[in-house]
Each structure stands twice: as C-alpha cells, then as structure tokens.
Structure 1
C-alpha cells in the first residue's frame, strides 16, 4: 500500500476549513502563508496523484495580498475543470480541443469566489465527467491518496484526492450521476450533492433538458460542508427552496430512516451490504426508527437505468457533434476517449426513445416525493462495491466492458440527479482492503438541513479515519 498525504507542520497544519478561518481571524496565519503552504502541498502530492488540471498559482499569489471579503477570505481551494474561472482554461478532462483562458468567471465560480475563496487552479476530472474514474489515456489516472493502486473515484477525482491528501482543505466538485459522492466515498470525505437549483450553475449545466448536475464541495468535516452551504446561501438564495441556515450541531429530532441495498435490478456486494446493515444498526442505537425497503419496492422505476443511460449518451452525442461550435474550433471528436464515443453511439442508435426517456426522468421525482411522505431519510451504500484498482475502468478497454462496470458500481447514485433530491456520502465504513467506504443518505428536495444534522450526529458517533493517522 502506498499512501500519499502532505499533512505537516506548515501553515495549513491538519486543520479543516473552519479551523483555518478561526486562525485567519485571530491573525495567527495570513492568506499568503496558507496559499504558499497549499502550493507546496499540491506540488508534492500531484506527482503521485495526478489530480491537477491547471496550476494558477501566480494568480492566487496576487490575490492573496489583496483585501478580500467573505467568511472564507484567504482559504486556498481548487475549482473542477468543467467550470469557468477567469484567466484559466476549462478543458473538461479531454484532449479533443485546446481550451483558451476563460474571459470571466462562470456563474458558479462567481458565487464560490464571493465567499472569499482563493482559487489555486483547476482539478482533474474524467472526460466530460462521464466516467466514475479519471483514467486519462495521455495524462494517466487520478490516484487514490489512501492507496495509489486504486481509483480516486470520479468525476470530481482531483478535488477529492487533494482534499483527502491535505493539499487543500476544501474543493469544488459537481455531481451529474454521483460525481461528488463517489469520489468522496473513495477518498474518505464528506460529499453532499445539494438540491437541484440550490446553487448557481454555468450555462452548460443549466441548459440541459434534465438538469442532472449539481455543484457543491468535498470536505474532510461536516462543519466545513455546512459552512460552505451557509455562506453560499448568503450570496445566492433560491426563494422556492427552504433555507438551510447555520447548521452547527446534531439535530435532536429522531428520524424515520429507510434503507435498501438493491435498486432497479442491481445489488450491493455482500461486503457492502453488511456495512449498510451495520450503519442501520448504528442509527437504531442512536434512537432513529429504521426499516428496510424490500427488494423491488425502492422508489425508482424499472426503466430508470436504461433511461438514465440513454440520457447520459445523449449528452455525449451533443458534445461530440457540436464541440466545434460550443467549445472551440480546434475540436476533434476522434480524440475523445472510447467511453465518450461509445455513449454517443448508444444514443445515436436510440434517439427515437429519447423523448419518452426524458419525460420519465423528469417525472422520477414524483416517486421519491411520495416515498418521503412516509420517511425522512433513505440510506444506501454510496457505491455497490469497494473502490476498484486503477485500470478496472480504463476507457481504452472498450465501451461495452467499461459501461457495464461503471453501471454496476454506481448503481445507487444517479437517482438523485434525476429527481433533484439532496444526497450526502459519509465515510462511515472501511473496506477489506483498508480503503474508505461511503454510506449515502438522501432526503426530500430542500432537506439539506436534515442531512447535515444527521451527518453531525454520525460524525460524532463514529468518527471517520484520517489519512494522516
């Protein structure tokens, strides 16, 4: 096992983001010192992890010496390389074109930076976020800091790898089929996908027929995620959603929790099912009312996996055929990886089925809203099996091989992207290989406060392992 982290006795120490904010406010450390420590840590760990898509270090150094407003003023961070940041290219994890520096911040980065964050660069992702592992044919894979022989998950792979390794305390991530929660699972982090519309989005994500993508962060503590959502709400507030507010402690409310380990014909491995049962037992010990959802009674249509795959393929098809106009005139679709091209072919052959699939995906929230009338939270494994080794999801193996492996592994996360429900992965278990294993908790739209209150309680009851220990 090769474990990689950069925790040490520099300005960042092993503080989480909220801890660093307290030290900044007490003037025990400066933004410049935090930026320099984060740059050194990124340079140290990127050689082995491969998670940095673009280094904007000089830009961050300049910004560190100017006065910034916001709760997170002076906190170093990364933005995932599918969101625009002024002065930085947005490459989307692909070799199919050459991105030019963005002229302005996208809608998400504008809000993110308004909280005071200092962006050091861009984190790597799988090509256009389609795969659950980032294994770039030219650049190589993004590796898991807990053991570099394993995947860091995806698509927010670089973000999760660097937060887990201590290079930055918090990083932007987004989730279109599990892409916050899956790498949070793999790297032992808190990864919360917010309710659809909770945070602003760049135009590319906002204009989708079904808005499956949600932006957020990956962090090492529940309080960091809660603070980020609170501060974002101060800058962007959707009036049709209940406010999250300032969640700082466990909720005293005892919840109705349903759990399941099979969905739409795919089941967790025996090892992962046992971990879910252990989590359910912990919830019962804490006084929550826990029930198992029998196989076949999950709030998801039997058509959902095929519908989601077709929609996923449609997004790939749009990119492949329109990249020259929507991305850059240097676009060369032949340089996309086999998974992207395979998804596009899958959709092209089934376009006549797309309208009905989109209609069913848009209607999927009705099932979960009815389900949440009788339950507060649903517990599932984040993924159906332990994190795979590097190479298992290598896109050069061919589409049919990789897509079946992806779908089997990420069986549980895509539902909330279709419904828009909030969902959080917490690193409550450990695999037989000694890697983090996530447990996923989902709730009704707008119920992030419920998930955060429960997450605080579980973090106290079963503190998760730290990579530096």
Structure 2
C-alpha cells in the first residue's frame, strides 16, 4: 500500500466552508455525495465497511431541491448540516443500513429505524454515506475485527487509527467525509481523533439529548460511560456538529468558538497521573511530552495560567473499571453457537464478566461512583485539566491482537492511560492536535472540563490550532 495515496491533506475544505458553498449555490449536495462516494470506492484504508449510494444520492437530490427552493437571504434558517456528507460507525442503527457491531456472533440485519443519534443528525440535514469500521462491539481502542478489513491510519497505513470510532476518524482525516459522530465509552472519540490528528469532543454525561434515554447510570448502578460527540478536522467544525446534535439552531458553540481569541484567564492544571499507573507501566514518549509542552506554551501565550495539578487517583480504579467495562457483554443475547464466533478479546471479556458475582459488580459500581465524585472534586479546583492525548505513537495494525487478550487490553491501557477516567467522571473532554513526530504521526493533548464546559473546551482547542502544523 502506498502511504502517500491516502495521506491527509490540508486542502480539503472544512465542513463550514462546504455548508457556506452549498447555501451560496456554488456546489450541490449531489456533487459532494458523488465525490465522497468515489473516494470511498477507491479507498484502501478500510475506513468504511459498507456504503449506501442510492439512499445517499436520493437524500442529496432532496437537499438540493430544498436549498434551491429557499430564497438566498433565508438560507441561514435551513437545517445546519443540510447536504453535508457524513457517516456512522457500525455500532449505530441507520435506517436501511446493516449494523454488524463488528461481530460474527450476532445477526447482520438492516435497521428499520434510526438510532436516536442518527435521527438527530438526519434531522439536521446531514447525509449518511454508510458505516465505518469498529472493533467488535466497540470494546477496544483500535478498529479491527473478524468481519471486515482493519481500519488504517491515513498518516501511516501500517498503523491503527485507534478506536472504537477509528473508521470514522480515518475517513475524516483522509478527506472522505468532512465530519462525523463518534461514541465514547472509554476514549472511543478521543483516541482515534488523537491518533489521526483531529479534534474530538467527548461531551459530558447527558449533554447530548440523543444519549439521555440511556439514563445516567447503567444496569449495575455504575456511571453510564458512553456518550456521543463530534469528530472533525477543526474545532469550528466540531462546534458546528455539536450544536446540530443538540438541535440548537442558534449555534451558540459555533459562535463562541469563532471568538475563541477572547477567552483568557483560565486556571489550567497539568497532570501525567493515570488511575492505571499501579497496574500497567504508564510511560509517555518524548513526542507525547513535547506535544504537552507545546500546549502549555500556547495556552500561556493565550493568557491562561497553567500549573501542575495535584491529583491522586484511586488505586481501586483498574479492577473496578474493567469489571464494569466488560459487564455489558453479558447482556447480549447470543444465539446457539454464536459465542464460538467471537473474537479472542470479546470472548475473554465475556468469560471474565460471567465469573464476576453480583456482589463484585456492585462493589465495582460503587467504587466508580466514588471515583467520579472524587475526580469532580479534585479537578474542580481548575477550569480545565490538561494531559497528553495518548502516551505514544499509534501501534501497528495487528499489534493488539497479536498480544493475546490479556496483552491486548494491557497495551490499550498503556496507550490511552488517561481517557476512561473522564467517562467515569462524566465530564466533558476534548483532544486537539499539536505536532507531528519525525515520521509524520500526529500527537495531541486532552483537555478535561467541568460539567457543561463543552463549548469552553472547543474554544481552548481552537486556541491551540495555530501550532497544529509545527514540530
């Protein structure tokens, strides 16, 4: 595979630029969809596992007709994403598209209805082109399974783009689509965004209306981990999608991010500590630390006070999180013989959770609730917490699986030692690219905010943007 064929390009127009061009009549939705489908057909990154060309083109024709029928001076009132191509990961039901969950152990059937998040994005006018690659049931921080070829990183196709929203991140970084919705239960928006040099926002628990039907706690009483959020090439585009996901036609986040230069005077704490540090070696590469240093400098230049954060993680976290993380597999209704078709990691996770007694799961849930309250208290001394996005460069495709289930999970914790803790805390977090290493691989940082601070985090990500292309 030629690594240059799919190298990310700075020449791809942003989602906001495309929206403006659509509204001015300079480009049509049909043209955008045709171009994107052609790119997807020629793609060798494994970003997409399926496409819906007929449905997408029909929606594009409808979008063009609606734009044409709207007077130019009234087009700002059109749905915010009208005519923009996007995609959903292969864990999300999209009407008429097959959902495989990345697994051979469950039926692959076409959905009759959109899931809540897909419905919200459709209502905002975006056109789904198909499904993107994921790990089996979304349980891993890379995007490889036994159903379709692995997703690959556009910056180096021999490496993973991360996961579980890895196919979507690869598609956005390669310019196949301008933006996309990811889901994040332990880092699944932030890990692939960081690995692919993108901006990825994990909203706080309950911030996105489509997620609220799942409740704030899960079936065993632990904090609900998974939320939906935007992945894009810029903080402005992420704000555009975040507003659309919430149905906010006034676009307050977009307006605020456009004025990001006005944000000053925040107290930002920096930490390298991880709740996994007692279980796995947490070691940051020189490039990860250089990205962190660059962010510290840039935030200081923007007028913020950046200092070391004094944070002590709960040593009970690793076992409790793993118990809760794997418990969801026990709730899947596998048919006869289906479990034999599971991948090794899913099979190991399923075996683990079946060995856990109800009392052990209840203790794990209680521990995570206590951890969440403690994080909110300790981090609450700051307006934001700054960390590396990932500990080292994206591993090679196949490296996780080759390590066996135990080594696979261990490597995931080593690579992303500071992501899942934010899901447990229920707080918002954003990752932003800062620099590239000598091989051209992106390195970024994570900013964790207080509850309700999604827009502020996107403004901080925009303030970091001028250093994206520097080393």
Q: How does 1:248-267 map to 2 (within 5 A)?
A: 248-250=258-260, 251-264=262-275, 265=277, 266-267=281-282
Q: Could you tell me whether the CA contact under 8 Å between 1:192 and 1:425 is conserved in 2?
A: yes
Q: Could you tell me whether the CA contact under 8 Å between 2:133 and 2:150 is conserved in 1?
A: no
User: 2 CA distance for matches of 1:293 and 1:355?
Assistant: 31
Corresponding position of 2:74: none
What SS does structure 2 have at the residue aligned with 1:141? coil
Residues 315 and 262 of structure 1: is their aligned pair in 2 closer, same or farther, counting only changes over 3 Å?
same
Corresponding position of 1:423: 429
Q: How much has 1:93 moved relative to structure 2?
A: 1.1
> Is the deviation greater in 352-361 or in 411-420?
352-361
User: 2 CA distance for matches of 1:303 and 1:424?
Assistant: 26
| 1:12-61 CA-partner distances (Å, limit 9, x unpaired) | 9721100000100110001111110110111121xx21121221111101
Corresponding position of 2:303: 287
User: 2 CA distance for matches of 1:414 and 1:190?
Assistant: 18
Q: Could you tell me whether the CA contact under 8 Å between 1:3 and 1:148 is conserved in 2?
A: no
Unaligned runs of 5+ in 2: 67-77
Q: Could you tell me whether the CA contact under 8 Å between 2:94 and 2:113 is conserved in 1?
A: yes
Q: Does 1:348 align with 2:354?
A: yes
Root-mean-square deviation (CA, aligned residues, Å) is 2.5
Residues 334 and 235 of structure 1: is their aligned pair in 2 closer, same or farther, counting only changes over 3 Å?
farther
Residues 29 and 35 of structure 1: is their aligned pair in 2 closer, same or farther, counting only changes over 3 Å?
same
Corresponding position of 2:233: 220
Counting matched residue pairs gives: 444
User: 2 CA distance for matches of 1:436 and 1:23?
Assistant: 29
Corresponding position of 1:269: 284
What SS does structure 2 have at the residue aligned with 1:428? strand
User: 2 CA distance for matches of 1:432 and 1:312?
Assistant: 35
Q: Does 1:133 align with 2:139?
A: no
Corresponding position of 1:361: 368
Q: Does 1:93 align with 2:102?
A: yes
| 1:406-427 CA-partner distances (Å, limit 9, x unpaired) | 1111211001111110001101
Corresponding position of 1:327: none
Corresponding position of 1:391: 398
Q: Does 1:55 align with 2:51?
A: yes
What SS does structure 2 have at the residue aligned with 1:261? coil
User: 1 CA distance for matches of 2:391 and 2:123?
Assistant: 37
Corresponding position of 2:112: 103
Find 1:451's aligned residue among 444, 450, 457: 457
Find 2:444's aligned residue among 406, 424, 438: 438
Q: Does 1:193 align with 2:202?
A: yes
User: 2 CA distance for matches of 1:75 and 1:285?
Assistant: 35
User: 1 CA distance for matches of 2:321 and 2:174?
Assistant: 33
Corresponding position of 2:246: 233
Normalised TM-score (structure 2): 0.88
Q: How does 1:151-230 map to 2 (within 5 A)?
A: 151-201=160-210, 208-209=218-219, 210-230=223-243
Q: Could you tell me whether the CA contact under 8 Å between 1:7 and 1:165 is conserved in 2?
A: yes
Corresponding position of 2:75: none
What SS does structure 2 have at the residue aligned with 1:143? coil
Q: Could you tell me whether the CA contact under 8 Å between 2:264 and 2:302 is conserved in 1?
A: no
User: 2 CA distance for matches of 1:244 and 1:22?
Assistant: 17
What SS does structure 2 have at the residue aligned with 1:441? strand
Normalised TM-score (structure 1): 0.89
| 1:335-387 CA-partner distances (Å, limit 9, x unpaired) | 11111111122222233311011122123332222124320010111122211
Unaligned runs of 5+ in 1: 238-242, 325-329
Q: Could you tell me whether the CA contact under 8 Å between 1:313 and 1:345 is conserved in 2?
A: no
| 1:229-285 CA-partner distances (Å, limit 9, x unpaired) | 222333699xxxxx8573222143221111111212253324123432332233223
Corresponding position of 2:28: 30
